[in-house]
């Protein structure tokens, strides 16, 4: 393969990755737990962008339960966002081993 073609391909990939990073901010998913009493929304960069708690789950005597519900909702959101990323970028990421995907 021509080295100049390889450089052109690398530049093209860099451009696509830059675009993809911006698009990841726009992909969102909401995970829930406890029958929807805890909802966590994350974006494609795995940043929490919203957290909703039903007042019924806020019991100062059982903080551990609330912590577990938040973690479970976050895991649910992570699974959903990973699936959304696979759907949108699957062909582009074909064959790449990305941790957590």
The per-residue pLDDT for 101 is: 52
| Average pLDDT per block of 10 residues along the chain, 101 residues long | 73 80 90 97 94 95 96 97 88 60 52
pTM of the model: 0.74
The per-residue pLDDT for 89 is: 81
Q: In what order do the strands lie in the sheet with 38-43?
A: 28-33, 38-43, 48-53
The per-residue pLDDT for 97 is: 54
> Largest Cα–Cα distance in the chain?
68
The per-residue pLDDT for 77 is: 97
Q: Where are the domains of the chain?
A: 3-89
**Measured between alpha carbons, how far is 82 from 46 in angstroms, rounded to an integer?**
9
Query: Is 3-89 assigned to CATH 3.40.190.10?
Result: no
């Amino acid at each position: 393969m021509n080295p100049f073609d390889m450089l052109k391909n690398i530049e093209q990939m860099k451009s696509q990755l830059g675009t993809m990073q911006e698009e990841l901010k726009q992909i969102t998913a909401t995970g829930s737990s406890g029958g929807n009493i805890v909802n966590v929304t994350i974006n494609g960069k795995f940043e929490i962008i919203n957290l909703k708690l039903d007042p019924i789950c806020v019991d100062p005597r059982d903080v551990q339960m609330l912590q577990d519900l938040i973690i479970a909702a976050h895991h649910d959101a992570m699974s959903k966002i990973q699936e959304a990323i696979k759907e949108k970028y699957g062909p582009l990421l074909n064959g790449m081993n990305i941790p957590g995907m």
